[in-house]
Chains A and B, each alone.
Chain A
């Protein structure tokens, strides 16, 4: 019934049907939530802010706090300077954050509010900070917004005091779940290296139930740590789309060398992260991590015949999809449709290169929508679909097993607490994929083919 997608492919030139992305401000809001005691502020009409909070709330199932400039028609005509200044006054008076992170919306970008100059004449209480990022939604996607705010965090906060750099690494995790951020921090810690992660939404959007509402839960990167990131000897940006810009900014501003790696999804990308750390900090890989890796390889060997040759369609945010594609290839699966809604040629280039190396060809597209993606699947069916919640329409229409991964996931819970990164995350992914495939096999098996041991 929900299947409204015709098989025949026709190019759309007047917009999108069933988007595979959303707008910049929500990414900026999420990044800002990754700072301890930070209140994200949406400079625009209240509707946008309300939608962004609602969407994040549905994904994380935690309260998402953000304030808005509450535009009215007057503000549109005369500019939003007065609204923003009043907002700053009210936010600190009412909600008392340590830091306020302003992002723009389509509206304020279009009327051309000059945020830096408004901020320079705004009254900010002593000891408090206001930072900002421009996030016009008619450019890029929520990933761009995340990247812009992360870069803004560096621009405003990072400082370098000394010539000599400290033995610590900055990690920019990208637009991932708090469960992933925790896992990455654990890996680095196990390596015996001190790290500064930002944005870090762990402990903010996965906060424990205490019977009290905390406007600012315990988690989040501390402002003083972010300041100190200018003194680190290395920045690792995980994912070129969400994290590289901030790392480069930090290199420019504080001369911290920047290194971009893939989001550490799967064995290869996780190896690369640990190798990069080992090489820069002259550490041995601790036996605990070696053991984890060994377990992962063991699992992959035990189960590889479930996966081999299975065709997969993957969509979602670029950094995640790139990492995931690599992992699927390492399992012997065949990604034949790979799509992100975020624009960027680098995505197509990187995915195509990986496929080429594996001797495969696929439909690969950036800035695509799920309508087109569905059409691909109709023309070339797959055994498995992976992507965010919106994939469920396609999964139902085509009756394909579906593994939920990425943002947003609105119809399942717990996902934001569990990692998909690192060796542990790879194990979890294998479990999810094989459960989906084998549950389907059981469901569809004729009685005589129904097996106990699989």
Chain B
């Protein structure tokens, strides 16, 4: 295999966004803007805000802008609901030329009035898109007035696309959530042994799995942010005695704020992979310092592991010598994936994220083997170059990466919105191994003459 050289890259500006473990000591450049003219795989602020808030099931999610931004986000995220399905509709103010010239405030107010009349929601989120930031609509004022008119909460989400990348959108979403969960005095008073579970969007029902585990060990889940949550449950947020954060990229800010405002401590967890899941359950039990919880946690871990480990071992036997490449949205997921792959005996040879943070890149660097390529905000040709050079057999990515991998004759797993099976917890670890198996070991690859 040819040695990988970063200097082969066609754009110098990208050089600092890529590193190779063991080769140099430089600090990877991340959290920057994409280069103009790049085929970036990155999304925008609105996208970030929408993915965080969208799983709130009984809210009206109204996109203030031209039609496109709403069309593309209509029910694309597979968050499941046990209650209302209102969030799966697409609401847009569908701004027209006149609105752009004369302002869209009146139309927005009308849209809110009509939607409230139709659906009687307790909660409306109004997302601003790029153009709203430019034409200068006063979102705050319109929302405030509408809230008063209808006696419900109408929360503006400041998510104009150009003010940053997806990470800025997470922040905007957290701000919106903070204004929603502001507790009335009567609500304060902690429920013992109860937690909020931050950073699970209940894709394919993942939050439900974790909720069951926690219930089994004697911990109550107060509310999940934001998978399968709703107005009522979110209003109770401040009553939990602990916050656990899974997806730190999107939720750490919220957890820090809750600590500051409501004195709720937080710990980081991960329910991806066997080891992480077990560690996290122990960590939670230890936090409550309760013998019974600890005992039950150990019991659960023992039972579950006994059930899944042999199954996973069977799969791992088939993965000998296989290598994976990872390109995902956030750094948290990237870190978990390295560990998850290690559990099934697959080495990660290339890893990148759209919005990973400095600390996360550090953990990534600590976890991977020497020679692994690490990149931030990669474009398709970089992904192709490094995957081929490093001899990856499998790519983990999102919607846009799937056909790229397939065209290269490479197996693929969606670890994003399009995932179809829950990948969390002990069952998730089995699903993960099964998914890897079904794509990596499919007979179709024998039809591909990889040149």
Q: Which residues of A contact B (CB under 8 A)?
A: 1-2, 4, 6, 10, 12-19, 21-26, 39, 41, 44-55, 57-58, 61-73, 75-76, 83-84, 86-91, 93-95, 105-107, 110-111, 136-139, 141, 207, 209-215, 371, 390, 393
| Interfacial chain A residues near B408, Cβ < 8 Å | 211-213
Instruction: Add 8 more A-B contacts to A62-B403, A106-B130, A211-B450 (CB < 8 A).
Output: A19-B92, A46-B42, A57-B402, A63-B404, A67-B37, A70-B38, A212-B451, A214-B407
**Shortest distance from the beta carbon of A140 to any chain B beta carbon, whole Å:** 10
The one of A51, A58, A68 that contacts B68, using a Cβ cutoff of 8 Å: A51
Residues of B within 8 A of A24 (CB): 68
A76 to chain B, nearest CB (A): 6
A26 to chain B, nearest CB (A): 7
Question: Does A76 contact B70, Cβ atoms closer than 8 Å?
Answer: no
At the interface, yes or no: B366 with Cβ under 8 Å from chain A? no
The residue of chain A having its C-beta at the shortest distance from the C-beta of B46 within the complex is A47
Q: How far is the CA of A62 from the CA of B401 in the complex (A)?
A: 10
* 25 residue pairs A–B, Cβ–Cβ below 8 Å: A12-B111, A12-B114, A14-B108, A15-B91, A23-B68, A47-B161, A48-B68, A50-B40, A51-B47, A55-B71, A63-B407, A65-B380, A69-B36, A72-B33, A76-B134, A84-B36, A86-B37, A87-B37, A90-B36, A95-B39, A106-B131, A111-B134, A137-B67, A209-B409, A213-B384
B253 CB within 8 Å of chain A = no
Q: Is B119 an interface residue (CB 8 A)?
A: yes
Q: In angstroms, how far is the closest chain A Cβ from the Cβ of B259?
A: 30
Say yes or no: B99 contacts A19, CB within 8 Å: no
Q: What A residues does B276 contact at CB under 8 A?
A: none
CB of B100 within 8 Å of the partner chain: yes
**Distance between Cα atoms of A213 and B401 in the complex (Å):** 12
Among B89, B117, B403, contact of A63 (Cβ-Cβ < 8 Å): B403
Query: Which residue numbers of B lie inside 8 Å of A, CB to CB?
Result: 10-11, 33-47, 62, 65-74, 85-86, 88-97, 99-100, 107-115, 117-119, 129-131, 133-135, 161-165, 379-381, 384, 399-400, 402-404, 406-409, 448-451
CB of A66 to closest CB in B, whole Å: 7
Q: Once the chains bind, are B90 and A18 in contact (CB under 8 Å)?
A: yes
A19-B71, A22-B71 known; A70-B35 Cβ under 8 A:
yes
* Inter-chain contacts of A83 with B (CB < 8 A): 36
Instruction: Flag if B403 contacts A44 (CB, 8 Å).
Output: no
Known: A15-B93, A23-B67, A70-B33. A212 touches B407 (CB 8 A): yes
Known contacts A15-B107, A21-B67; is A86 also within 8 Å of B92 by CB? no
User: Which listed residue, B39, B164, B451, touches A211 by the CB 8 Å rule?
Assistant: B451
Q: In the assembly, what is the distance between CA of A176 and CA of B100, in Å?
A: 31
Which of these, A14, A17, A68, A72, contacts B90 with CB under 8 Å?
A: A17
CB-CB under 8 A for A14 and B111, given A66-B39, A209-B409:
yes
What CA separation (Å) do A425 and B403 show in the bound complex? Answer: 27
* A51 smallest CB distance to B (angstroms): 4
Min CB distance B206 to A, Å, is 20
Shortest Cβ gap from B283 to chain A (Å): 35
List the A residue with the shortest CB-CB distance to B39. A67
- Judging by beta carbons under 8 Å apart, are B90 and A110 in contact? no
Residues of B within 8 A of A65 (CB): 39, 380
Contact B38 A137 (CB under 8 A): no
B contact residues around A39 at 8 Å (CB): 39
Q: Which of A15, A19, A46, A111 has the most chain B CB within a 10 Å cutoff?
A: A15
Are A54 and B399 neighbours in the complex by a CB distance under 8 Å? yes
A65 to chain B, nearest CB (A): 6
CA separation between A4 and B119, bound complex, in Å?
8
Closest to A390 in B: B74
**Minimal Cβ-Cβ distance residue in B for A100:** B37
Contact B130 A107 (CB under 8 A): yes
Q: Is the CB of B38 within 8 A of A47?
A: no
Contact B66 A45 (CB under 8 A): no
Q: Which residue of A lies closest to B384 (CB)?
A: A213
For the complex, give the distance between the alpha carbons of A215 and B408 in Å: 12
In the complex, are the beta carbons of A57 and B451 less than 8 A apart? no
Given the known A-B contacts A16-B94, A19-B67, A26-B68, are A107 and B39 also in contact in the complex, defined by CB atoms under 8 Å?
no
A62 contacts across to B, CB distance below 8 A: 403, 407
- Identity of the chain B residue whose Cβ is nearest the Cβ of A43 in the assembled complex: B36
| A13, A89, A105, A211: most-surrounded residue (chain B CB, <10 A) | A211
Most buried by B among A26, A51, A69, A111: A51
Q: Is the CB of B403 within 8 A of A50?
A: no
Contact yes or no, A89 B43, CB < 8 A? no
Decide: A107 and B91 in contact? CB cutoff 8 A: no
Indicate if the CB atoms of A110 and B135 lie closer than 8 Å: yes
CA distance A209 to B161 in the complex (A): 35
B36 vs chain A, min Cβ distance (A): 4
Residues of chain A with a CB closer than 8 A to B42's CB? 46, 50
Report the bound CA distance from A95 to B35 in whole Å.
Answer: 13
Contacts of A213 in B (CB 8 A): 380, 384, 404, 407-408
Of listed B36, B67, B115, B134, residue having the most chain A CB within 10 A: B36
Residues from chain B with Cβ under 8 Å of A94 in the complex: 10-11, 37-38, 379, 381
Q: Which residues of B contact A66 (CB under 8 A)?
A: 39
Please pick, from A45, A64, A88, the residue contacting B37 in the complex, using a CB distance under 8 A. Answer: A88
With A50-B43, A54-B399, A107-B131 as known contacts, state yes or no: A21 contacts B71, CB within 8 Å: yes
Q: How far is the CB of A372 from chain B (nearest CB, A)?
A: 12
**B37 contacts A90, C-beta separation under 8 Å:** yes
Say yes or no: A46 contacts B34, CB within 8 Å. yes
Q: Which of B37, B68, B70 contacts A91 (CB 8 A)?
A: B37
B409→A211 contact, CB < 8 A = yes
Q: Once the chains bind, are A67 and B134 in contact (CB under 8 Å)?
A: no
Which B residues lie within 8 Å of A139 (CB)?
A: 96-97
Docked CA distance A35–B449 (Å): 28
Contacts of B117 in A (CB 8 A): 10
Q: Which residues of B contact A93 (CB under 8 A)?
A: 10-11
A14 touching B107 in the complex, CB below 8 Å, given contacts A50-B44, A138-B99: yes
- Other-chain residue from A4, A137, A212, A214 in contact with B89 (beta carbon distance below 8 A): A4
Inter-subunit contact A73/B163 (CB<8 Å): yes
Q: Please state if A209 and B97 are interface contacts (CB–CB under 8 Å).
A: no
Tell whether, in the assembled complex, residue B381 and residue A215 are in contact, meaning their CB atoms are under 8 Å apart: yes
Give the complex CA separation of A64 and B400 in angstroms.
Answer: 8
Q: Tell me the bound Cα distance from A41 to B40 in angstroms.
A: 11
A129 to B10, CA, bound (A): 20
Contact of A57 among B62, B96, B403 (CB under 8 A): B403
Find out whether the CB atom of B37 lies under 8 angstroms from the CB atom of A141. Answer: no
Give the residue of A2, A55, A371 whose beta carbon is less than 8 angstroms from that of B88.
A2
Is the pair A15, B381 in contact by a Cβ cutoff of 8 Å?
A: no
Provide the residues of chain A in CB contact with B86, threshold 8 Å.
4
Which residues of chain B are within 8 angstroms of A63 by Cβ–Cβ distance? 380, 400, 403-404, 407
Give min CB distance, B163 to chain A, whole Å.
6
Q: Cα distance A50–B44 when bound, in Å?
A: 8
Whether B33 contacts A110 by the Cβ 8 Å rule is no
Q: Establish whether residues A47 and B45, one from each chain, have CB atoms under 8 Å apart when the complex forms.
A: yes
